[in-house]
Structure 1
């Protein structure tokens, strides 16, 4: 386990701008930096990074945190692994906690245990290449492919020995439990005999699948015999750390080159990736034999907006893969395609023609998706009007996936020329698609809006007045914002904002659980002589608290400083008169609480009347109602609200 000293050093040295910029390009706007969110699809930047506060927040999907949380979120890793990754980035020596007991090691969460077991398996497979069987079979296969020792080490290639339980025995001797090995997908249970366990990978060369941080999360394994009863490849199953639809083979080794080259080559298999690295082409990833997914496209988009799909020279395979191009277009990427000669794939063709010819082929044969798609069917369509009409529909369908209107208009003109038809025909068909899409989008938004319960939806409107509970939540949230943002400021010569707010709300019970957590943390800090500022909560262990505090202290819009510095236009800020701001907030909060109590009191009076309870009971409840009404009138008077009761 990592020592507290190492964690503190990482927190001190880490810089949110540098960390986020490794994944998404940031642009300065006002005091903050902005980008399209790496956690969800969007065309307008809503992902904000504050260098001053060392936090990030997306105003679209709500993701928020500090640099450590960002690494955890984007890499899908735990806290300890994020600290290790950041320590390595900033050259901080990692100190292990020497006081850790075997019980504490067992207490590691299951995710970390899976990573440890998978890393052990990776090392085991790699070391097998040095054993007699591994050298004769596994290493020989890699050498036949032209894989040198450095490339074998770079991709953690290995060999699974041909036996039922070689890995199982070695892992158990190293202290790994059968339960974790099963959950990691490394071993299997015999059907009908759950006590019989055996290795998943046997007698195969192994390809380690890494996450973005370089940690092993799964394996692909290729059989080397001609046994037709066995599949050529088997892969790790879905686990807590390995989701096939979220990862691409080779992304860890390729991410730096993809960003530098501003292009990503997409291939189908493991050996295609490794072979291209041998040629010095490192900006390449593979979908590992599965259909391309939306999350994989998002993963590529973190590093580039340009993707070149490399197709094997197999017409049936190309036709089956065309759906991927439409998904890439929909994801906002620019697509090109390269088709290899009949019967060739990137691996076989690169070994056949050599490095230089292969690179030239990629440059010369790359064509944009429109020319590629039309070229596939042009010969057939030229002889058959029905097929030509079908081709036009397919092209229009792809054009409709392009989110950028300028790029789309360029492709419309090109498509019209290649198909020899009027641009207006394509535009008319596109308009039909857009109308249909808008109707579907409107339906989804209408459906989703009924389910949303976020803060903005709690705000009252003329059509949908807010409930008392939602109004109380809004006011509680505002008080928490003032407490966290300005609690340390002086509201008078002798009183701080926090002292005033806590004193005035001491008898109120906050309805929102996370606000009660923040209050408790704040009060504990004060009792220890600490006057908390926002950074205090960001270093706190509770993720819910950190997340909520970030939402409280960040704003989507900010007034440009140029209004005052350049144009001499001065505006009022809430901090200019904190005394009035916090005073009004407390009154508004009390007003909302009393309103809810009045509703409850009115309900109890009606209930007593309906049930024909004793006159004295009804009288007591009326008295309570009238007392609450007096409080309401007094608060309204102090707020300057004139209401006719």
Structure 2
């Protein structure tokens, strides 16, 4: 079902870009804007800018840009309607449905929404089972044995799947949910050889609900409580349209606020580890849910903090097997620490054993930076074995090479050299070898890709095409002035937009999106509206909205301290709009004429090759010479002495 225009307008009015982005990324003020490392790509220095004044965001690294609604669409991977619902919930706005929707639009919306609806139904069903006789005797008693109170059971939507073939299936069917959507959600299975027979995926197990960042149930993990060696201890929901396990961390919804506040994320392995730590007063914790840590999971943590502390069970063999995750975290630009529990203990068992305060103290006292942790882990076995010592050094250097920040890397080089009792130069030399090999591999990869390029793609491009990009840049510059300053006065009775549009009335932009913005601008003027940047940011065309954001944002701003404190006065294009706009028009006309001259030259060459009559040749030469004269005149006005 669609959402009414009134609801959309209310969300647009209420949603604040700083408030929305801060739910995902910690922002820091610099100048007039707020900055952070981009949540959409890996980077070591902030290029993600948020403008509270303009209510927009823009990444100068990957190019992502938009308003609060677009940000939710980008970061949650949802459509427009779902983003509106997300923001409406955040700001307590009642969602009004638009009844005038086509059957096709309703079906498209329900395709994804129905998955969320049935998964939420299943979550409630499993939770209600805890109050039934079997659920109390088995599921609830298991949770109570682990010290889980009612608050934490509700906080994490814990539940129980009754021991039977079709309890959920029958209940869901009675509630109006179809077999098709139950299958797509991974809640039921089809019997092999008899696809008409369906049965529950989860049976006789305690249920752990997996949520997305917005708190919606998207999958389930289920643990068996009997000693049945024929069945796996845990089974999980399959991948679906709304659940991709490599993109999800258990507990991230409950942890994201605390991770931002504490500026640190604890990473554990299992569901119960997360819940026990919450009971111990530590909420900034997530789990990889038994799977190997992925790049997307690391990016998810980085949205909220640059610091991560990995908690390891007291099992040396298991620790060494999972060390690859540390290198991935380093490569993702996060600062890594590690804590190892006593032998035979994990976060869940140790928290229940020692109590909240002692558990918190243990984490604080035993957190080591990754270098101390890695070297300490192998130090004893490598002490009297030169080969193992050499392998340890290589392993440490390999980890150091993953650190993108050169300053942090240098600090760790010094610390590694001290702990390994080596000269820093030796470590640096080994690092250089790794970097040189990386460059060499990259070179040969590029070479192979070039060799695979079709021969015709390697032929020289016609000279005229080089001017297309130059012309596009000049069109962009004129449009930038129009959008940013069109409402300003260039003289006592003339707006910038009037002057620009009069001087370029006969020109048609080659770049489609620029022409589209220009047409929208002219339409607004024809309706007696002088548009400012905000006018375009409310436009429904996402391409227009994104391009306008690119036109009105700048990566660097001159500090006001230059003038206020140091009395150093700098030139600003807005100080002399008449000259700025005049020069821009001349440059645009120059590029258009240059392109026309190149086309005229090609026509002259064609005439020579086709041996056209003298009149035709003379006409084409005259056109070229006339264009050349225009170019010379423009060059004079721009102060260019020599014209090319």
**TM-score of the superposed pair, with normalisation by structure 1:** 0.87
Partner of 1:96: 96
Question: Matches of 2:68 and 2:200 in 1, distance apart?
Answer: 39
Partner of 1:238: 239
Question: Matches of 1:173 and 1:641 in 2, distance apart?
Answer: 81
Measure how far apart 1:183 and its partner are.
4.2
Partner of 1:472: 471
SS at match of 1:467: helix
Greater mean alpha carbon deviation, residues 274-283 or residues 361-370: 361-370
Partner of 2:372: 371
Greater mean alpha carbon deviation, residues 220-229 or residues 434-443: 434-443
**Matching of residue 585 in structure 1 with residue 588 in structure 2:** no
Question: Matches of 2:294 and 2:385 in 1, distance apart?
Answer: 34
Partner of 1:152: 153
Question: Matches of 1:182 and 1:401 in 2, distance apart?
Answer: 42
SS at match of 1:24: coil
Measure how far apart 1:54 and its partner are.
1.9
Change (3 A) 1:418 1:245: same
Question: Matches of 1:367 and 1:544 in 2, distance apart?
Answer: 48
Question: Matches of 2:122 and 2:102 in 1, distance apart?
Answer: 21
Question: Matches of 1:445 and 1:536 in 2, distance apart?
Answer: 44
SS at match of 2:308: strand
Partner of 1:210: 211
Partner of 2:360: 359
Question: Matches of 1:532 and 1:543 in 2, distance apart?
Answer: 18
Question: Matches of 2:628 and 2:407 in 1, distance apart?
Answer: 61
Query: Is 1:416–1:423's contact at 8 Å kept on the other side of the alignment?
Result: yes
Query: Is 2:43–2:333's contact at 8 Å kept on the other side of the alignment?
Result: no
Question: Matches of 1:195 and 1:530 in 2, distance apart?
Answer: 62
Question: Matches of 2:620 and 2:183 in 1, distance apart?
Answer: 63
Measure how far apart 1:485 and its partner are.
0.9
Partner of 1:457: none
Greater mean alpha carbon deviation, residues 187-196 or residues 73-82: 187-196
Partner of 1:556: 555
Change (3 A) 1:447 1:465: farther
Unaligned runs of at least 5 residues, structure 1? 451-463
Q: Which runs of structure 2 are paired with 1:157-236 in the superposition (5 Å)?
A: 157-164=158-165, 166-168=167-169, 170-171=171-172, 174=175, 176=177, 180-188=181-189, 198-236=199-237
Partner of 1:128: 129
Query: Is 1:249–1:285's contact at 8 Å kept on the other side of the alignment?
Result: yes
Question: Matches of 2:559 and 2:14 in 1, distance apart?
Answer: 29
Query: Is 2:397–2:430's contact at 8 Å kept on the other side of the alignment?
Result: yes
Question: Matches of 1:114 and 1:540 in 2, distance apart?
Answer: 31
Partner of 1:336: 337
Q: In the TM superposition, what whole-angstrom CA distance separates every residue of 1:561-588 from its partner, at most 9, and x where no partner exists? A: 2333344443332223333333332332
Change (3 A) 1:166 1:619: farther
Question: Matches of 2:193 and 2:519 in 1, distance apart?
Answer: 53
Measure how far apart 1:309 and its partner are.
1.3
Greater mean alpha carbon deviation, residues 20-29 or residues 278-287: 20-29
Partner of 1:45: 46
Q: In the TM superposition, what whole-angstrom CA distance separates every residue of 1:143-173 from its partner, at most 9, and x where no partner exists? A: 3333222111111122334455554555555
Q: Which runs of structure 2 are paired with 1:47-446 in the superposition (5 Å)?
A: 47-90=48-91, 92-97=92-97, 99=99, 103=103, 105-108=106-109, 110-164=111-165, 166-168=167-169, 170-171=171-172, 174=175, 176=177, 180-188=181-189, 198-437=199-438
Query: Is 2:211–2:218's contact at 8 Å kept on the other side of the alignment?
Result: yes
Question: Matches of 1:480 and 1:192 in 2, distance apart?
Answer: 64
Aligned length: 631
Greater mean alpha carbon deviation, residues 45-54 or residues 73-82: 73-82
Query: Is 2:27–2:36's contact at 8 Å kept on the other side of the alignment?
Result: yes
Measure how far apart 1:101 and its partner are.
5.8
Query: Is 1:297–1:328's contact at 8 Å kept on the other side of the alignment?
Result: yes
Query: Is 2:268–2:311's contact at 8 Å kept on the other side of the alignment?
Result: yes
Unaligned runs of at least 5 residues, structure 2? 452-462
Partner of 1:458: none
Greater mean alpha carbon deviation, residues 261-270 or residues 324-333: 324-333
Measure how far apart 1:82 and its partner are.
3.6
Query: Is 1:311–1:339's contact at 8 Å kept on the other side of the alignment?
Result: yes
SS at match of 1:214: coil
Question: Matches of 2:181 and 2:233 in 1, distance apart?
Answer: 27
Change (3 A) 1:533 1:625: same
Query: Is 1:2–1:94's contact at 8 Å kept on the other side of the alignment?
Result: no
Question: Matches of 1:644 and 1:399 in 2, distance apart?
Answer: 54
Measure how far apart 1:267 and its partner are.
0.7
Question: Matches of 1:14 and 1:122 in 2, distance apart?
Answer: 30
RMSD: 3.4
Measure how far apart 1:410 and its partner are.
4.4
Question: Matches of 1:418 and 1:578 in 2, distance apart?
Answer: 62
Change (3 A) 1:495 1:303: same
Query: Is 1:138–1:204's contact at 8 Å kept on the other side of the alignment?
Result: yes
Measure how far apart 1:510 and its partner are.
2.0
Question: Matches of 2:567 and 2:47 in 1, distance apart?
Answer: 29
Change (3 A) 1:363 1:627: closer
Q: In the TM superposition, what whole-angstrom CA distance separates every residue of 1:268-297 from its partner, at most 9, and x where no partner exists? A: 111211122222221211011111122222
Query: Is 2:632–2:643's contact at 8 Å kept on the other side of the alignment?
Result: no
Question: Matches of 1:389 and 1:197 in 2, distance apart?
Answer: 58
SS at match of 1:304: coil
Query: Is 1:5–1:95's contact at 8 Å kept on the other side of the alignment?
Result: no
**Matching of residue 598 in structure 1 with residue 589 in structure 2:** no
Greater mean alpha carbon deviation, residues 8-17 or residues 388-397: 8-17
Measure how far apart 1:324 and its partner are.
1.0
Question: Matches of 1:361 and 1:130 in 2, distance apart?
Answer: 36
Greater mean alpha carbon deviation, residues 254-263 or residues 100-109: 100-109
